[in-house]
Amino acid sequence: MSVPALATRGLAKKFGSLVVASDIEIVLPKGVRYALIGPNGAGKTTLINLITGMLRPDAGQILLDDADITVLPPDQRVRRGLVRTYQINSLFPYLTALESVTLAICERSRAARTWWRQLPAYRHEIDEAYEILVALTLAPVCNRPTRELAYGQQRLLEIALALATRPKVLLLDEPAAGVPREESKELFAAIAGLSQDITVLFIEHDMELVFRFASRVIVMVGGRVLVEGTPHEIATDPRVRAVYLGKATARTVRDQRHG
Amino acid sequence: MALAEKLISPQAYLRSQTRWRPAEIVFWAAALSPYFLFPNYLSLASQIAVSALFALSLDLILGYAGIVSLGHAAFFGIGAYTAGLLSKYGWGEPLSGLALAALAAGIVGYATSFVICRFRHLALIMLTTGFGLLLAELANSAGWLTGGMDGLQGIHTWNLLGYFHFDLYGRTAYGYALAVLFVLFLLARRIIHSPFGLALRGIRENLTRMPAIGAPSLAHMRTIYAIAAAIAGVAGAILAQTTETVSLDSLGFERSAEVVVMLVLGGAGRLYGGLVGAAIFMIARDRFSGVEPQYWYFWIGILLVAVVIFLPNGILGGLAKLTARWSRS
């Protein structure tokens, strides 16, 4: 069996007496598209924060490509290819889209440490940034400050920033949050079009999108992994139905998100 | 296709950001004007240049990386005392004095950055303030070295390049201060237009996002903090060399606060803000302190309040807004 791209062993975290993660064991094989679902407060974002090092776990291990990264600072995890996006846009409001993505690439290539050469001299970095923006349909607005971009474009820029780091494992925290339904399909199409070398885990409430774009699904409840399986297995699992108030149709799950 | 052709290429756009603007050339030409227009004010002009350089160094950390410091005079003072002591004990060559002052201030800046760059907001302001007070008190108690309250006496600056004598009217002093300001301004300009400068802007805009794009923000902040400290040290050294004295207030709290005021007046994060702010502040001080020696801060206070309320991005920020509106209509 090949080495998984990402695995956690017995990951646990408490805030005071509140258990937000308990004995979480997940194994993501290379190139697989995973969906992470669960009701609000299930600990989905917390899990991403733990894996990416934004939070320190109380116990457990995180393995990236079989290397223990549990104590590595966040920026070094990114350098090793473990990258996330944010649920709420967390961008650079006064940098243009091109500058933002170029910055991420310069950090990867370590060009961001040099202060004696001017930015336009870094043609490769700029070209690569522009190509990423072209691929995500952001080329026409690439010279606009981020804060002037439409919301959906900002969501795409989130993904562009993540891609600029050349991820091996990409953790997407509700990539389509707040994006109209039609646009969210386009956004997921962009995600589905990513290289098959990239392992993707995304948090998403819309079951239709989950079924369409995930090959496997992890369900979390109360800081624990309830069950893991194919979308079909998950849809027919009685425990999952029970979690979603006993009437887990795609519609109610979607309504819950907006309600 | 037609649309794509109309779009400016990404490189061309970024290059256009780094290009010299006509206003910049006018600014530096105007900086030479005191020689012709106000030959009796060259001493003041050289002090303005020193303050401008000091404010420029603060802009690199405050305006670009978002590191608010109320103890920046520590590095100004270290530079001033380094150059002053060198001269007092027999080495009055000005340019090497500047280099050593920059080195001393830069080393202390880099050493303290390991603590300072870990903090933000109020904690950061208090830390830098505390560090500044600490150093000022050290200089005060080490009277055998610094001259304490009486100031450091016995400085003699050799001729600049072995030729230009530092005269009483400040002719050499202003040329010297202005030339150093210009060279270090070029350096600062280069820094902010480099990939590293882009990373600094990223830190200012969204520090918490930086690790998620793989950026070692702390290392970036330490680097710019050390560079800013070194430049502040050069500013202090010029003051010591041109006035041939160093007093305790060169690293006092008041100087730290004043440089923040200068930068806020002019507009932080735009390189020229500190220069313009320093000129306004120093000229206002010169004018008002002649009229009301005791109360001149009153007017600076009014100016500061007015700028912060009406021009939140400083005088240059207001001007930029005005020209943008003007060119659109």
Minimal Cα distance from B195: which residue of A? A112
Residue B99's pLDDT is what? 95
Residue A190's H or E segment, with its range, is helix A181-192
- A245 pLDDT band, cuts 50/70/90, is low
pLDDT for B154 beyond 50: yes
B91 or B130: which carries more pLDDT confidence?
A: B130
Contact B198 A114 (CB under 8 A): no
Closest C-alpha among B21, B270, B223, B275 to residue B109: B223
Contact A229, A222 (CB under 8 A): no
All residues of chain A having their beta carbon less than 8 Å from the beta carbon of residue B223 are 113, 115
Residue B1's pLDDT is what? 38
3-state secondary structure of B18: helix
The DSSP call for residue A31 is T
Report the distance separating Cα B36 and Cα B245, nearest Å: 28
- A161 pLDDT band, cuts 50/70/90, is very high
Looking at the DSSP bridge assignments, the partners of residue B24 are none
Residue A1's pLDDT is what? 56
Alpha-helical runs (H) found in chain B? 2-6, 10-18, 22-31, 34-37, 42-58, 73-88, 94-116, 121-141, 143-146, 171-192, 195-205, 217-243, 253-266, 272-291, 296-310, 314-328
pLDDT in tens, A193-227: 888 889 999 998 888 888 888 999 999 998 899 99
pLDDT in tens, A181-199: 877 887 888 888 888 889 9
- Residue A259 burial (10 A CB sphere; 0-12, 13-18, 19+): exposed
Distance set, CA A57 to CA A11, B54, B92, B254 (Å): 7, 44, 58, 45
The minimal CB distance from B193 to the residues A104, A118, A125 is found for A118
Q: State residue A107 phi and psi, 5-degree precision.
A: -65, -40
Residue B7's pLDDT is what? 58
The minimal CB distance from A118 to the residues B18, B201, B220 is found for B18
Q: What value does the mean pLDDT take over residues A21-50? A: 91
pLDDT in tens, A137-147: 899 999 999 99
Report the predicted TM-score, pTM, of the whole model to 2 decimal places. 0.88
pLDDT in tens, A93-136: 999 999 999 999 999 999 889 888 999 899 999 999 999 999 88
Q: What value does the mean pLDDT take over residues B237-261? A: 92
Report the distance separating Cα B297 and Cα B311, nearest Å: 20
Contact A64, A82 (CB under 8 A): yes
pLDDT for B263 beyond 90: yes
How far is the alpha carbon of A139 from chain B, nearest alpha carbon, in Å?
Answer: 9
How far is the alpha carbon of B212 from chain A, nearest alpha carbon, in Å?
Answer: 6
Residue B4's pLDDT is what? 45
Contact A115 B223 (CB under 8 A): yes
Q: State residue B164 phi and psi, 5-degree precision.
A: -80, 115
pLDDT in tens, B26-65: 999 998 888 888 888 889 999 999 999 999 999 999 999 9
Which range among B75-79, B174-178, B212-216, B325-329 shows the weakest confidence by mean pLDDT?
B325-329
Whats the size of chain A, residue-wise? Answer: 259
Report the distance separating Cα B246 and Cα B157, nearest Å: 13
B250 or A248: which carries more pLDDT confidence?
A: B250
How far is the alpha carbon of A161 from chain B, nearest alpha carbon, in Å?
Answer: 7
What's the whole-number average pLDDT of chain A? 87
- Amino acid identity of residue A63, one-letter, is L
Minimal Cα distance from A167: which residue of B? B213
Contact A92 B11 (CB under 8 A): no
User: What percent of chain A clears pLDDT 70, i.e. is strictly above it?
Assistant: 94
- Residue B225 burial (10 A CB sphere; 0-12, 13-18, 19+): buried
Q: Interface pTM (ipTM) of the complex?
A: 0.86
pLDDT in tens, B279-300: 999 998 888 887 777 778 888 8
pLDDT in tens, B180-224: 999 999 999 999 999 999 999 999 999 989 988 989 999 999 999
- Amino acid identity of residue A102, one-letter, is T
